[in-house]
Structure 1
């Protein structure tokens, strides 16, 4: 009964600000893509941003290795071995996929291979998020990891910043805590806490649900980035041209 009421309250109050900001950055990236350009959505999953690229030639690649819904995938392949020629694409989307690469450096080098020199890539990847899509969840990335990995793969970073603000990170943590906090007395060991904590947990769950709803809605409107840490980073990078071959 309590879980049903809290679930209803969560649905009324919580707004996933990550999805709001993800939509915004993908819309902005799509506006930079000229008509007829060839776009690869790498790790496309359900292809949620496909419609943003109706003016372009949209193609997708995914291994389809976990049990979840997928869109119409052009290339069912490992992202370390995409079956196209060098420099095939003008732009690449790489959303929420880097953490699922057992060899992220190899995947980025392959994306650099299939992207034209001067082509641009949009990447979003988590710094703070629970394990998901098991067993293919390997890494979380700081801004320094992003810079190192992209530069080593042959990219120049044009933009590297928080996707959400800290209120979005806090909202997510409170939301997860409200769901995970146990009711049953055995979770709290022996002594008085065994009997005091279950009713206290109900109050804490209610408080966390309300706070996560408030923080998530605030973050969807304004990214507070002066303190704390983001849930995700967003990277826009440009493929560097191949070094000139010395004259003989």
Structure 2
């Protein structure tokens, strides 16, 4: 594993590890904090001081604390407004595309580190994030990935790309580090309220997502949460935002979860994207395979039309 680690800016290889630092071949060094390497590039919007000071950035572990009555009600009692019904099955299919013992990088693992390790039991699972709220293996910015070219058999980034300030660079990095023949699982919303502010930057259409991976073929594309979930989330968001007062907002949240939580089950009737539903889903999941074919924009757009035939 250590042989694939490089400096996120210079790509000089790792030379030495001390109790406090990763030291690279050019004698530059990056810190280790509480046992986790913090490998931010110089131009990253994140910095090591935030990690040391436990500053909350894109995610806060306190929302998992169900001893808090508000969290308990939201997480345990109220129905959700949306659900990715095919998640476990999709990952089971994705796992079969990875060779036994293969190395998979999880970006933005968040609170699901144990989940990812359980669903890829025969893989070498490397978890990462931009914070240390849930103790990933590495902390780094996906725009500056500290690994060598062609070093992973698979990459998974679920609900991460919308939080990248430059998704073109992010996707170029993902394609750089995955092996030729390797696979990528990318999941992102098309319609979802602004969240994790200010680290929320983009939404992605079907063709927009496809255009970001010109070195890859599409293995599969599907809607994760469709029009019904989109409707439920939008209506709930409307009522919650009628007021800035916490009690009123919480009351609307409670009521709209009960009123609209059932709508998501209508999405189980939807299948692959088609001309009628491609404009409104809440999210997409793409499975790509890197083949190093150099596709231009016309080539990738033509794939959309071929899919509809």
Which TM bucket (shorter chain)? 0.7 to 0.9
- TM-superposed CA distance for 1:83, in Å, is 1.7
Contact 2:216 2:293 survives alignment (8 Å): no
TM-score, normalization by structure 2:
0.60
Unaligned runs of 5+ in 2: 1-68, 295-309
Q: Which residue of 2 aligns with 1:171?
A: 232
SS state of the match for residue 118, structure 2?
A: helix
SS state of the match for residue 117, structure 1?
A: strand
Written as runs of structure 1 = structure 2, the 5 A alignment for 1:66-105 is 69-73=133-137, 75-105=138-168
- TM-superposed CA distance for 1:207, in Å, is 7.4
**Per-residue Cα deviation, 1:169-216 (whole angstroms, up to 9, x for no partner):** 1122233334334498xxxxxxxxxxxxx9xxx9x9887444412202
Q: Which residue of 2 aligns with 1:236?
A: 287
- TM-superposed CA distance for 1:93, in Å, is 0.4
Name whichever structure is richer in helix by fraction: 1
Choose from 200, 213, 216 the match for 1:155.
Answer: 216
CA distance in 2, matches of 1:129, 1:43: 18
CA distance in 2, matches of 1:113, 1:54: 25
CA distance in 2, matches of 1:159, 1:216: 22
**Per-residue Cα deviation, 1:80-121 (whole angstroms, up to 9, x for no partner):** 222221111001101111111111111111111110001010
Mark the structure with the bigger radius of gyration.
1
Contact 1:21 1:163 survives alignment (8 Å): yes
The answer to whether the aligner puts 1:213 opposite 2:261 as a matched pair is yes
CA distance in 2, matches of 1:9, 1:116: 41
Task: Flag the 1:85–1:179 CA change in 2: closer, same or farther, 3 A.
Answer: same
Contact 2:81 2:263 survives alignment (8 Å): no
Q: Which residue of 2 aligns with 1:222?
A: 269
CA distance in 2, matches of 1:176, 1:41: 30
| Greater relative contact order (CA < 8 Å, ≥ 6 in sequence) | 1
Contact 2:98 2:154 survives alignment (8 Å): yes
**Per-residue Cα deviation, 1:50-84 (whole angstroms, up to 9, x for no partner):** 210121100022222xxx832423x2111122222
Q: Which residue of 1 aligns with 2:304?
A: none
Q: Which residue of 2 aligns with 1:122?
A: 185
Q: Which residue of 2 aligns with 1:112?
A: 175
CA RMSD of aligned residues (A): 3.1
SS state of the match for residue 194, structure 2?
A: coil
Q: Which residue of 2 aligns with 1:21?
A: 86
CA distance in 1, matches of 2:155, 2:241: 37
Aligned residues: 215
Contact 1:89 1:115 survives alignment (8 Å): yes
Written as runs of structure 1 = structure 2, the 5 A alignment for 1:181-192 is 181-182=242-243
CA distance in 2, matches of 1:205, 1:53: 35
CA distance in 1, matches of 2:75, 2:259: 10
Contact 1:124 1:235 survives alignment (8 Å): yes
